[in-house]
């Protein structure tokens, strides 16, 4: 019988903003999103290992990265084929370390299993965080960060190929979705009044109202991630959602093409 630890991926990797605003690198096994939630591995366990050495940006040096790679390989090796635990994702945060996120049936058993293979690693392990998470919500958060960051990186590369310098400020539109026109207007008045905006506009047939925030910013993935984090935190308080971003690019014929990503749909 195939266990969760036998599911090889694919893995998604992307940079995104954490809740505290720091830009982290997220890597997650996307192959588990249908198999994991509701499974017998219902306890989320997070263990963070400090970097053995850091560079000027607070990220692991080449040798420290190799050491972390070896640690991950040993962990996957000891968990291979087990029905009791699986490594689902990793988060690398400058200066803080790399967090390994597991799901298991027994926290103490997992830590005992890991103790032998983690001992050769020279970076200090921070206290273990664990808790019941039958719906795999922590996994879902890491997955969303990874996939959002991956999409941003892909689109920034696409814009660069079209002649757009990512570091230069340009017009970027962020689309927010709300459950009603009244809620959207409240969000605009109370939390989004400092921004230029368009809407609310009703999306036909969806009973959803969109607001477009118009910003002058770069399209570097770190700034895109920071905007997304901030706007998501605002709309969440109003029962809404963040629907992505887009920016205009002139074509060879002088027309304007909008390039970006949408989580759902655009007006």
Q: Report domain extents, the chain.
A: 4-144, 166-262
Query: Alpha-carbon dihedral of residues 104, 107, 108, 110, nearest 10 degrees?
Result: 40
Please name the CATH architecture into which domain 4-144 falls. 2-Layer Sandwich (3.30)
Tell me the C-alpha distance between 237 and 233, whole Å. 7
Asked if the domains 4-144 and 166-262 are classified in one and the same CATH topology, the answer is: yes
- Chain length of the chain: 267
d(CA 128, CA 200): 45
Q: Take residue 214 and report the two structure tokens written for it.
A: 């118009």
| Residue 111 CB burial class (10 angstroms; 0-12, 13-18, ≥19) | middle
Q: What integer pLDDT is reported at residue 265 of this predicted model?
A: 47
Q: CA 167, CA 133: separation in Å to the nearest integer?
A: 40
Taking the model in full, what pTM does it have?
A: 0.77
Say if CB 219 and CB 172 are below 8 A apart.
yes
| Cα angle 47-52-58, degrees, rounded to a multiple of 5 | 90
Run means of pLDDT, 10 residues per run, the chain, 267 residues: 79 82 88 91 94 90 92 91 92 92 94 85 84 94 88 88 90 94 94 91 81 94 87 92 91 81 59
> Residue 84: how many CB atoms within 10 A of its CB?
17
Look up the CATH number of domain 166-262: 3.30.70.970
């Amino acid at each position: 019988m195939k266990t969760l630890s036998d599911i090889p991926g694919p893995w998604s990797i992307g940079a995104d903003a954490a809740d505290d605003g720091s830009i982290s690198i997220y890597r997650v096994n996307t192959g588990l999103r249908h198999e994991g939630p509701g499974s017998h591995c219902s306890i989320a366990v997070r263990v963070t290992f400090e970097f053995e050495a850091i560079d000027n940006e607070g990220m692991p040096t080449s040798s420290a990265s190799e050491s972390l790679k070896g640690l991950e390989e040993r962990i996957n090796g000891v968990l291979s084929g087990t029905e009791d635990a699986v490594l689902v994702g990793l988060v690398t945060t400058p200066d803080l370390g790399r967090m390994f996120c597991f799901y298991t049936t027994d926290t103490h058993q997992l830590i005992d299993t890991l103790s032998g293979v983690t001992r050769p690693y020279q970076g200090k392990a921070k206290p273990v965080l664990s808790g019941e998470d039958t719906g795999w919500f922590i996994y879902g958060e890491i997955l969303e960060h990874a996939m959002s960051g991956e999409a941003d990186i892909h689109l920034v590369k696409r814009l660069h190929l079209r002649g757009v310098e990512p570091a230069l400020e340009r017009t970027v539109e962020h689309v927010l979705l709300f459950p009603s026109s009244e809620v959207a207007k409240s969000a605009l008045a109370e939390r989004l009044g400092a921004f230029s905006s368009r809407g609310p506009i009703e999306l036909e047939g969806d009973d959803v109202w969109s607001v477009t925030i118009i910003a002058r910013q770069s399209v570097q993935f770190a700034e895109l991630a920071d905007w997304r984090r901030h706007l998501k935190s605002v709309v969440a308080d109003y029962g809404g959602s963040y629907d992505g971003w887009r920016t205009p690019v002139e074509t060879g014929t002088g027309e304007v093409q909008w390039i970006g990503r949408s989580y759902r749909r655009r007006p």
